[in-house]
């Protein structure tokens, strides 16, 4: 077996700090030998891969027993790094972990650098670049949905989709290059109609992947949700209810919440970052308040979702629509209208809102979902959470038929580059550009797509094309 690295690395793979268990991982040619020299189980050095072994770790010099452990053995190439990998599960105290690490270092392992296990996995060909980046995302993932996205990317779903597209495009690129080689004016090896059809398909997929980046970003970074509304509508109270802790200052004096208070809460696998804004009031003479209103608009512009909160007893449905419109004119973001203080509101005003927002079949075009609650009584919070999730899933996922979600900025940039060049090929086809220009744009598009999976650089594109298509065969 050929190995890329001659040294064996070791690191604590679980988070530092006291836990029930800690996992210490070794990777490299001496992983098994180093472990065997401190492990009580005699048969370990010869054991098969994908096996678990129970025993004690012992310092052979002092004879001191450090811990009872379970050791997992993964033989090359059937391991994460394709090297021999050993995973030692020991007890999770800092002291034990440090002792075990020190023991392994004394017996020939070297402390791994950040990301070195994943780097080895990439360099050994166990995963492509997109997958390696997914590992980083997976480690950082802290909501159920972002975990699922990272896992899908790790399994190669995303890379696979791109690779298939590239392979089909490469065939056309090769035929175009052949035309160039042939040198005669009106020879067309590459069927222009077929190319146009494939191009339309590829552009559709790239567009879908790019759109998914918006959702991917939202999942990774949280959905910035602005809570806006007039002073005393109950914004701070609602934020508290959502966060279930007293982070925002609740005050009965109108207009006292001038600062923006942010916090995050995970609802059904989606991470929402709520921003409480200063009171929104048009006709205020108070300068500080006026600045607050302007800043609220600024916040809404940058947000992914607007939660407009109002006091059911204070505003009419028409006024609510007008205020939402004032905040969102020119913007395309999902909005939720939330009527607060159902405990104080009259039956008539509640009915008026339900008729205007919920039961009005003529206003379908820009329908704004309505939620009624009493934040101060902690009533209706769950319905609001359901509506929030529905708004995000509805607006983002309906554009993304494939299960693939792009979460990586580098991938998104490469997709944008590819999209631009694919558009240029399309224009070239439509306006009857020469083969040379078509081939050049296609080459750029292919290398952008290839950059994502890290499988190609622009120089070896031609080589790759002609190893697939040998002339005169
Ligand atoms: P903000 O200015 O929009 O942030 O409003 P606050 O959260 O500071 O709330 C203003 C006042 O309304 C406070 O006295 C709250 O206790 C009260 N309040 C909030 N929600 C409710 C509710 O559901 N019912 C009632 N009766 N009062 C509420
Ligand atoms: Zn407030």
pLDDT of amino acid 473? 25
Q: Between 259 and 381, whose confidence is greater?
A: 381
Using CA atoms, how far residue 462 sits from 87, 171, 178, 444, 471, in Å, is: 43, 12, 11, 12, 13
ipTM of the shown complex: 0.98
Q: How far is the CA of 112 from the centre of ligand 1 (A)?
A: 53
Annotated binding site for K(+): 232, 251, 253, 256
- The model's pTM is 0.50
Nearest CA to ligand 1 atom 9: 234
Q: How far is the CA of 311 from the centre of ligand 1 (A)?
A: 9
- Of these ranges, 10-14, 177-181, 330-334, the one predicted with the greatest mean pLDDT is 10-14
pLDDT of amino acid 78? 92
**1 in a structural domain:** no
Same domain, 121 and 142: no
DSSP-derived pairing of the beta strands 223-228 and 305-311: parallel
Nearest CA to ligand 1 atom 6: 234
Q: Between 162 and 342, whose confidence is greater?
A: 342
pLDDT of amino acid 121? 79
* pLDDT over 70 percentage in the chain: 71
* pLDDT over 90 percentage in the chain: 30
Q: How far is the CA of 334 from the centre of ligand 1 (A)?
A: 24
Domain final residue, candidates 94, 126, 158: 126
H/E run at residue 52? strand 51-58
List pLDDT tens digits, range 393-444: 665 444 443 455 666 666 788 889 999 999 999 999 888 888 888 888 998 8
Q: Which of 143, 372, 385, 390 is nearest to 242 (CA)?
A: 385
**438 in a structural domain:** yes
**4 in a structural domain:** no
Residue 355 has pLDDT above 70, yes or no: yes
In the chain, how many domains are there? 2
pLDDT of amino acid 270? 73
Q: Which of 279, 265, 204 is nearest to 235 (CA)?
A: 279
Give me Rg for the CA atoms of the chain: 30
Nearest CA to ligand 1 atom 2: 232
Q: Between 310 and 395, whose confidence is greater?
A: 310
Same domain, 466 and 347: yes
Q: How far is the CA of 76 from the centre of ligand 1 (A)?
A: 63
**155 in a structural domain:** yes
Residue 446 has pLDDT above 50, yes or no: yes
CATH number, domain at 329? 3.40.50.300
pLDDT of amino acid 312? 96
**82 in a structural domain:** yes
Same domain, 359 and 446: yes
pLDDT of amino acid 210? 81
Q: Between 240 and 358, whose confidence is greater?
A: 240
Q: How far is the CA of 249 from the centre of ligand 2 (A)?
A: 7
Closest ligand 1 atom to Cα of 342: 23
Which-ligand-closest: CA of 374? 1
Closest ligand 1 atom to Cα of 250: 8
Closest ligand 1 atom to Cα of 254: 2
What rounded mean pLDDT belongs to the chain? 78
Q: Between 466 and 77, whose confidence is greater?
A: 77
Which-ligand-closest: CA of 340? 1
**Mean pLDDT along residues 191-213:** 83
Does 257 sit in the ligand 1 pocket, CB within 6 Å? yes
Distance (Å, whole) CA 452 – CA 441: 18
CATH number, domain at 18? 3.30.1360.120
Annotated binding site for Mg(2+): 236, 257
Same domain, 423 and 287: yes
Domain that holds residue 402: 127-473
Nearest CA to ligand 1 atom 24: 341
When pLDDT is cut at 50, 70 and 90, the band that residue 392 belongs to is: confident
When pLDDT is cut at 50, 70 and 90, the band that residue 124 belongs to is: confident
Which-ligand-closest: CA of 242? 1
Residue 470 has pLDDT above 50, yes or no: no
Does 241 sit in the ligand 1 pocket, CB within 6 Å? no
Distance (Å, whole) CA 375 – CA 232: 12
pLDDT of amino acid 401? 39
Does 312 sit in the ligand 1 pocket, CB within 6 Å? no
Using CA atoms, how far residue 306 sits from 249, 263, 388, in Å, is: 21, 15, 10
Does 381 sit in the ligand 1 pocket, CB within 6 Å? no
Does 253 sit in the ligand 1 pocket, CB within 6 Å? no
Q: Between 223 and 259, whose confidence is greater?
A: 223
């Amino acid at each position: 077996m050929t190995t890329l690295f001659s040294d064996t690395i070791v690191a604590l793979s679980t988070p530092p700090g006291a836990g029930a268990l800690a996992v210490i991982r070794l990777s490299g040619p001496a992983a098994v030998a180093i472990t065997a020299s401190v492990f009580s189980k005699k048969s370990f050095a010869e054991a098969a891969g994908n096996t678990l072994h129970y025993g004690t770790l012992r310092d052979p010099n002092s004879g001191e027993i450090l811990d009872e452990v379970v050791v997992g053995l993964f033989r090359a190439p059937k391991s994460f790094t394709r090297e021999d990998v050993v995973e030692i599960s020991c007890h999770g105290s800092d002291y034990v972990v440090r002792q075990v690490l020190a023991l392994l270092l004394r017996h020939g392992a070297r402390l791994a650098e950040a990301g070195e296990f994943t780097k080895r996995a990439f360099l050994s060909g166990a995963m492509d670049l997109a997958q390696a980046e997914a590992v980083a995302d997976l480690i950082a993932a802290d909501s159920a949905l972002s975990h699922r996205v990272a896992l899908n990317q790790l399994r190669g779903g995303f890379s696979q989709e791109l690779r298939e597209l590239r392979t089909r495009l490469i065939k056309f690129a090769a035929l175009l290059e052949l035309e160039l080689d042939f040198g005669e004016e009106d020879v067309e090896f590459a069927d222009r109609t077929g190319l146009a059809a494939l191009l339309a398909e590829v552009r559709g997929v790239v567009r879908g992947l790019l759109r998914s980046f918006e959702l991917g970003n939202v999942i990774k970074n949280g959905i910035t949700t602005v809570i806006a509304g007039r002073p005393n509508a109950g914004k701070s109270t609602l934020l508290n209810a959502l966060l279930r802790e007293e982070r925002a200052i609740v005050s009965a004096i109108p207009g006292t919440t001038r600062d923006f208070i942010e916090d995050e809460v995970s609802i059904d696998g989606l991470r929402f970052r709520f921003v409480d804004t200063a009171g929104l009031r048009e006709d205020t003479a108070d300068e500080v308040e006026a600045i607050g209103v302007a800043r609220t608009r600024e916040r809404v512009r940058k947000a992914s979702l607007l939660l407009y909160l109002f006091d059911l007893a204070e505003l009419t449905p028409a006024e609510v629509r007008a205020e939402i419109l004032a905040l969102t004119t020119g913007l395309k973001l999902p909005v939720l209208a939330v009527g607060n203080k159902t405990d104080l509101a009259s039956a008539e005003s509640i009915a008026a809102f339900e008729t205007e927002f919920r039961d009005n079949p003529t206003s379908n075009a820009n329908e704004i979902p309505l939620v009624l609650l009493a934040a101060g009584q902690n009533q209706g919070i769950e319905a609001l959470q359901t509506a929030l999730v529905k708004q995000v899933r509805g607006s983002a996922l309906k554009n993304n038929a494939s299960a693939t979600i792009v979460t990586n900025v580098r991938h998104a940039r490469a997709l944008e580059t590819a999209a631009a060049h694919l558009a240029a090929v399309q224009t070239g086809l439509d306006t009857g550009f020469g083969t040379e220009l078509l081939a050049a744009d296609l080459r750029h598009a292919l290398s952008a797509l290839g950059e994502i999976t890290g499988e190609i650089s622009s120089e070896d594109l031609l080589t790759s094309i002609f190893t697939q298509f040998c002339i005169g065969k």
